[in-house]
Homo-oligomer: A and B are copies of this chain.
Amino acid sequence: MATVKLMVFYRRPEDEAAFWTHYREVHLPLVTKIPGLQKVLVNRVDQNPMGGEPAYFMIAELHFADQAAFDAAMASPENRAAGRDAMQFAKGLFTMLAMTET
């Protein structure tokens, strides 16, 4: 079974300190309640090795055991609560992609 991940790509917020406070104190606790979540990783972007401003500021990864676990997680009320929170504190700042490790 292949790990299925949701990656969430955040652009740089205007107030980085306020972003991190909300992310750690409010958003992550909501994310960790999503059923079937195996692991959440928070990657702070350091640089664009090809030069120029990095397209993203932070990339979060939510890992699930397989497609069925991912689908159930996405349909859960806990995921909707995390999504609602993201739409408030980071509205317009993020995009997402679902992917499978090959």
Residues in A lying within 8 Å of B, measured CB to CB: 4-7, 41-50, 54-56, 59, 74, 95-102
Contacts and interface: CB of A to CB of B under 8 A. Distances in A.
Q: How many copies does the complex hold?
A: 2
Given A49-B74, A74-B49, A54 B101 contact: no
B7 A47 contact: no
- Main secondary structure on A side of the interface with B: strand
A42 B6 CA distance: 14
Contacts of A98: 45-49
Contacts of A54: 97
A2 B65 CA distance: 24
A100 B55 contact: no
